Structure 1
Amino acid sequence: MSKPARESCPALVMEVRGDFACFTRPELKAERVSYPVMTPSAARGVLQAIFWKPEFDYRIEQIDVLNEIKWFSIRRNEVTDAPSLSTVLKEGRRYHFRAPDKRDQRNTVALRDVAYRIHAQIELKPHATAHVAKYRDQFHHRIERGASFTHPTWAPVSSPAPTSAHPTTAISPSSAVKTWASCCCASTTTPRLRARCGSPPNCTRAS
């Protein structure tokens, strides 16, 4: 199996927008406090939710902050712990979880009206055999269709969000641009995505 040559391609560029976002700081356990901007791991998670293969990784090159940083705080009821799956399976229908006995109020400091522009490259792993243009083309087509492996969210999810895709076409110098918009519930923030990337012929093998 031959190792693919390193590729030289323009960066994949994606704009993500949302009403709310929370990029939680790890040193704060109970109370959730967001970083002021999107983190590289969060940007990578959005890209992987849309398209991922074991043959490559995303390398985040740059994150542009498009909107002014705005904060807000909210306090809501949560449970201090949840039953384990083994307990539920063992008890079956006899199990009853009393949420009021384990309820606790926790504060969240998050971001409002966020917008970012993500610049990323697809880096092939040693066992990959296909050209990087193949994966860039698949990524672009999934954006056009509004497809995703998992539903991207920008906040802790305590209930599933109803989703619907509404692609709308716009004009871009490089390619067709489509917007993927989704509904969200009170406890879930869903980014609205807009992406553009160079077509596969723009990718050339580095000598």
Structure 2
Amino acid sequence: MRVKHKKWAEPYLESHPELISLNPAEFKGNWQSRFEKAQPLHLEVGMGKGQFIIGMAKKYPQYNFIGLEIESTVAAIAAKKAEPEHLPNLTFVRADGAGLDTYFADGEIDQLYLNFSDPWPKTRHEKRRLTYKSFLANYQQVLVPKGSIEFKTDNMGLFQYSLTSLNNYGMIFDGVWLDLHHSDENEGNVETEYEQKFAAKGQPIYKLRAHFAK
């Protein structure tokens, strides 16, 4: 998510280490220390302004949630939004989603979410797509054995690409929805900012859930 740079963002992030980690490698293998109690750990890569991950943390207090975002301004907006909620099962990370094994130990994450990722439509940018095989390998490393991924997008091209990429990697699909908001899967669905915007225009939202074979 690209937004106009805000001068207050970086100072805010630096002054709120209890909310957001700017050096996540220091918690590798010890992320449970960031929370009130140890619980299954769920990670969103590319959280945007945080609507989804904050909503999930409020709805599922039995899980611990981490929202990861590379853009400082966007990460600051998310953290500032969460601050008054005082959620003991939520923390944030300002980092690049391409290096998850740098920040998390093998098998440390129980569930991973990818929501409305940049589609990078040009063929020469394929390796930047968050469902490209190198990213999948990285996810598999930090997830528990047979760990799962949930992926949502409004971009049909990216969705079709992701179905093929995950299938070629040997992942097993637990569900595929071509119009999430008009399906039973929508019951209890927590929306992202983009999802809310596109769904309001009548645009279908695509979703898949898949797990690694081992």
Specify the TM-score bucket, using the shorter chain as the normaliser: under 0.3
Q: Which has the higher contact order (CA 8 A, sep 6+)?
A: 1
Which of the pair is proportionally richer in strand? 1
Q: Rg: which structure is higher?
A: 1
TM-score by length of structure 1 reads 0.23
TM-score by length of structure 2 reads 0.22
Which of the pair is proportionally richer in helix? 2
